[in-house]
Structure 1
Amino acid sequence: MEALQNFFTYVQNNSDYITEATLQHLRIVLIVIAFATVTSVLLGVWIQTRPLARALVLSTASIFLTLPALALFALFIPIMGIGNPPAMLALWMYALLPILRNTVTGLDSVPPAVTESARGMGLTGTQRLLKVKLPLALPVIMAGVRVATLLTVGLTAIAVLVGGDGLGIFIRSGLSRNGLPNAAEQVWTGTVFIVALGLLLDLVLAAFQRVATPRGLKV
């Protein structure tokens, strides 16, 4: 009970600092997910009907996830310097696969009969994509975006190790001061607020997914 009280006291006394770090963390996540979504959807549309390109692109995106996060962050420092840019580029690479794979899967799940019906109505290839295939694939694509968002929220905590911003500053500070006053509270602050931010973003995306899903696909 005393530990919990100390945690709330620390949060209350450092609310401005925590709010600033949370907004910095959120900004990084939103920018990364926005770019990853655009990139993945465009790539997914292009490779969906090209088996060779599909295998190559998906394999490459899968390899990104096998790379150690801190090593990948540090890899771009000689090129981009320290700070948010190298971390955001690495996070973008990690976020690609869930959205890309779900984009391809979602487009694959569109019934051919629906596409043929749209063709019979005189819709061009672009119109079929924008008005039929992508709306029907949206629930699957959004599931990938939600996974990528949660992954990015967690990995952004490591950005502080390469000079980036975010809630990871509390975890790093607490671990470096292990045994000193407020060290445990700092670690818990970073952890709790990262989890809370991830859950909040997932709820927002779930609500958007619900609203944007075509009425006939809602359950």
Structure 2
Amino acid sequence: MSFSEYLSDRWPTILRMMAEHAEVVLIAVGIAAVVGIGLGVAVESRPALARLALALSGAMLTVPSLALFGLLIPLFGLGVTPTITALVLYAIFPILRNTITGLEGVPAAVEDAARGMGLGRLNTLVRVRMPLAWPVVLTGVRVATIMTVAIAAIAAAVAGPGLGELIFQGLARIGGANALNDTLAGTLGVAILALVLDLLFVVLSRLTTSRGIR
């Protein structure tokens, strides 16, 4: 069966897997964004704590993804839970790093002006510092999303949902009927999904960033 015939026959299944893949990625990145941005705001003004948080979250990126998925099996079993947990652990670092970097990049003069206008610390953060830091913060979320799209494919090793199932099926039956088609469809699906999500972040950035700092 040619690849075009394969796609014509299997496209509903491939689209379903792509939707499942996108779902676990977006859920994981959403959780990681809450944790990473919240932690970044909390430690940004405390250099020692900021370095510790970055070191701990960055250390997660040194753990091979297949090994981390395996380590989570005794705790969460197979399926969606270990998949999302692992993706959250990987996604926190770029979001946390960019949150700290973005907030540190806000000019001190702007903060002084905000305080001079009577804004308290919370109002200064919400109305001045975070809007100015937002493009950098959003870039961290964008990087985390694209990174986890690729890592989520490996979640098939722990029965996770998504396009990784096609890739693993194809590799397990290499040389068999449609093995190459399965692997190619899964790989292209991951690449297309990453591109689509990246374009969505470009649009989101334009919609949520003040015109004055674009």
Please give the TM-score of this superposition, normalised by the length of structure 1: 0.96
Q: CA deviation at 1:52?
A: 1.3
* 1:135 aligned onto 2:105: no
Q: Distance in 1 between matches of 2:4 and 2:29?
A: 31
Kindly provide the amino acid, as one letter, of the partner of residue 92 in structure 1: V
Q: Distance in 2 between matches of 1:57 and 1:8?
A: 48
In structure 2, the partner of 1:9 is 5
Q: Would you say how many aligned residue pairs link Structure 1 and Structure 2?
A: 214
Q: Distance in 1 between matches of 2:41 and 2:2?
A: 51
Query: Of residues 48, 51, 59 in structure 2, which corresponds to 1:52?
Result: 48
Matches within 5 A, 1:68-107: 68-107=64-103
Give structure 2 stretches of 5+ with no counterpart: none
Q: Deviations over 1:21-50 (max 9, x none)?
A: 111101100100100111100000011001
In structure 2, the partner of 1:39 is 35
Q: CA deviation at 1:15?
A: 1.2
Query: Of residues 170, 177, 199 in structure 2, which corresponds to 1:181?
Result: 177
* 1:172 aligned onto 2:130: no
Q: Distance in 2 between matches of 1:9 and 1:21?
A: 18
Q: CA deviation at 1:87?
A: 1.7
* 1:146 aligned onto 2:142: yes
Q: CA deviation at 1:61?
A: 0.7
Q: Deviations over 1:25-84 (max 9, x none)?
A: 011001001001111000000110011111110000110000010111111111111111
Q: Distance in 1 between matches of 2:18 and 2:124?
A: 41
Kindly provide the amino acid, as one letter, of the partner of residue 57 in structure 1: A
Q: Distance in 2 between matches of 1:20 and 1:215?
A: 37
Q: Distance in 2 between matches of 1:6 and 1:145?
A: 38
Q: Distance in 1 between matches of 2:117 and 2:15?
A: 53
Q: Deviations over 1:131-172 (max 9, x none)?
A: 111110011011111110010000000111001110001101
Q: CA deviation at 1:213?
A: 1.1
Q: Deviations over 1:3-26 (max 9, x none)?
A: xx9212111101111111111101
Q: Distance in 1 between matches of 2:132 and 2:211?
A: 10
Q: Per the alignment, in what secondary structure is the counterpart of residue 2 of structure 2?
A: helix
In structure 1, the partner of 2:111 is 115
In structure 2, the partner of 1:27 is 23
Give structure 1 stretches of 5+ with no counterpart: none
The CA RMSD measured in Å over matched residues stands at 0.9
Q: Distance in 1 between matches of 2:55 and 2:107?
A: 26
Q: Distance in 2 between matches of 1:158 and 1:80?
A: 16
Kindly provide the amino acid, as one letter, of the partner of residue 74 in structure 1: G
Q: CA deviation at 1:98?
A: 0.6
Kindly provide the amino acid, as one letter, of the partner of residue 144 in structure 1: G
Kindly provide the amino acid, as one letter, of the partner of residue 61 in structure 2: L
Please give the TM-score of this superposition, normalised by the length of structure 2: 0.98
